[in-house]
A and B are shown apart, each in its own frame.
Chain A
Amino acid sequence: MTTTDIQNEIIDNFSLFEGDMESTLFYLMDLGKKLPAMPDEHKTETYIVKGCQSKVWVFPTFIDGKVHFEADSNTEITKGLVYLLWSIWNAKTPEEILNSELFFIDKIGMSSMIGSQRSNGFANMIKQMKLYALAYKTKGA
């Protein structure tokens, strides 16, 4: 599936809650549990994406032309968002990651999570994942 297909599927799933923020958050927290466990030895200072309240870790590897991510967060709602991002960008080529627009965040009513850079590691995570993709693209070229 393309990054656009995956995002459309996410938006479909969230549309069941009809904008009810509480149900959205409960669902997000449950989604976070689906994120593959990230080994503690990869949760180091090098791979942390800092935010005021929620921390995110992203550990990238580059296998057969595709970027693979391990990721985690110390808060459950952010972890749910991290899972969604992971499901869109994991095992994709650097070009697919760099060329994709993340339109699902606004559509599922979570744009406030990226609005405030200071308060959230999630916004910085998006930037960081694109930077890793760019680094691999440059290296591979």
Chain B
Amino acid sequence: MLNNINNIRLQFPILHQEVNGKPLVYFDNAATTQKPKLVIDALQRYYELDNANIHRAAHTLAARSTEYFEATRKTIQQFINAKEEAECIFTKGVTESINLVAQTWGKANLKAGDEVLVTTMEHHSNIVPWQMICEEKGAILKVIPISNSGDLLMEEFDKLLTSKTKMVACVWVSNALGTINPVKEIIQKAHAVGAIVLLDGAQACSHLQVDVQALGCDFLTISSHKLYGPTGVGVLYGKRELLEAMPPYQGGGEMIKEVTFEKTTYNEIPYKFEAGTPNIGGVIAFKYALDFVNELGKENIAKHEDHLLKHFVDGVTQINLLNNHAITLVGQANNKVSVQSFTINNMHHFDVGMMLDAKGIAVRTGHHCTQPLMQRFNLEGTVRASFALYNTTAEVDVLLQALGSIVKFSNR
């Protein structure tokens, strides 16, 4: 468990404010996490002391910013246990990471009749890029269904997986349901038919231990801002042999070796995929977020968050006992992270969100960019509470109390 949560909270300046006259309770962590002071300071320090474009100049500031930028690459390599730093490409986020793979690997490898598998619980960012490339290539997008509890139906996956399957693009942890998918088994089975596996790690990387070598995944996408780092920074991990064989994504500076008007030769990985000036300050500050998480320890964080989730679910059960099951939990997989979607009888999720905001509680409402998943449950949307390392059981109690009064109001 995390010791001294109050000390941890002190490192997040944003948490110490009032919203609508009430202390802020931030439970929208699956959308974006708040940033510790270390990260905010690093961003500020970069612009005050080190700002220079990386990789291309002889002066001291450029050398310094390049050194710090590449230090983050080293840290993320260790964070996910990639074989080498060159397998970690900086992008602006998970969406760009997935588009990069679809537009480069997909362009080079997919042909008419090939199949790409995704799951019902994908975020739109792991559906639309594949739809686009499938349409272009005449390939077919197939969907692995899920159970009512929000678990992948693995026997259906077994049936869908054939020699036609060229890519399995699968979310590791569902942003709307919290389900942790059995990715190791998925990877092994996909590899057995010669398919490539891309894991959308947007939600997983802040909760779970990540070891890409042990998992054996071909691609993994990571978001900085869901991992206590700045927005506008993401990572695409890819195996060297795949990245080397892929054509470049965008043309421009940094990604070239030599340019003439007749022909351009491309740089080595990872630079081949890093055209243009990146979010240098963001990348540099991301290291501090990774160090912060490493210091607390993923296991400790997970234990704390699991405890908060259990406290919340137990509280909802209590409310339901007294109120004729007014709250329906959406997503009750056995193996899940601290994300809980729910609906309240006779109440639109948007109204619930507004009423919680009136109490200073920030949650997400809507379809969570997973419309096909909402359609699977015949829902327009849900309310989603997602807990992070700085949240407390007292805060969960504030949410439970607010839900109790909303439920009473809805029965009027």
Contacts and interface: CB of A to CB of B under 8 A. Distances in A.
B334 to A, nearest CB: 31
A73 B381 CA distance: 16
A21 B366 contact: no
Contact of A53 (B21, B357, B381): B381
Interface stretch (B29-37, B158-166, B345-353): B345-353
A61 interface: no
Contacts of B4: none
A76 B366 contact: no
A53 B409 contact: no
Interface in A1-52: 19-22, 24-26, 29, 52
Contacts of A26: 409
A119 to B, nearest CB: 8
A94 to B, nearest CB: 31
Nearest to A80: B351
Contact of A75 (B20, B21, B350, B358): B350
Interface in B92-140: none
A54 interface: yes
Contacts of A111: none
B354 interface: yes
Contacts of B359: 22
B366 A29 contact: no
Contacts of B409: 26, 29
B350 A53 contact: yes
B358 A21 contact: yes
B20 A53 contact: no
A111 to B, nearest CB: 13
A77 interface: yes
Interface string B369-412: 00000000000010000000000000000000000000001000
B355 interface: yes
Contacts of B351: 25, 29, 75-77
Contacts of B381: 53
B348 A25 contact: no
A23 to B, nearest CB: 9
Contact of B365 (A19, A22, A53, A74): A53
Interface size class of A (residues with CB under 8 A): 10 to 19
Nearest to A110: B354
Interface string A69-81: 0000011111000
Contact of B355 (A25, A52, A74, A78): A25
Given A21-B20, A52-B366, A53-B381, A76 B358 contact: no
A63 B366 CA distance: 39
Interface string B309-350: 000000000000000000000000000000000000001111
B358 A54 contact: no
A77 B409 CA distance: 13
A54 B351 CA distance: 9
B366 A25 contact: no
Interface centre among B21, B351, B409 (most CB of A within 10 A): B351
A106 B349 CA distance: 24
Contact of B358 (A22, A52, A78): A22
Contacts of A22: 355, 358-359
B20 A76 contact: no
A24 B357 CA distance: 12
A53 B366 contact: yes
A74 B348 contact: yes
Contacts of B357: 21
A124 to B, nearest CB: 15
Given A21-B20, A53-B381, A77 B366 contact: no
Nearest to B365: A53
B116 to A, nearest CB: 29
A54 B366 contact: no
Contacts of B366: 52-53
Interface of B: 20-21, 347-351, 354-355, 357-359, 365-366, 381, 409
30 contacts: A19-B21, A20-B21, A21-B20, A21-B21, A21-B357, A22-B355, A22-B358, A22-B359, A24-B358, A25-B351, A25-B354, A25-B355, A26-B409, A29-B351, A29-B409, A52-B366, A53-B349, A53-B365, A53-B366, A54-B348, A54-B350, A74-B348, A75-B348, A75-B350, A75-B351, A76-B347, A76-B348, A77-B350, A77-B351, A78-B350
Given A20-B21, A25-B358, A78-B350, 12 more contacts: A19-B21, A21-B20, A21-B358, A26-B409, A29-B351, A52-B366, A53-B349, A53-B365, A54-B348, A76-B347, A77-B350, A77-B354
List the 8 closest pairs (A to B, CB-CB), nearest first: A21-B358, A75-B348, A53-B350, A22-B358, A21-B20, A75-B350, A76-B351, A77-B351
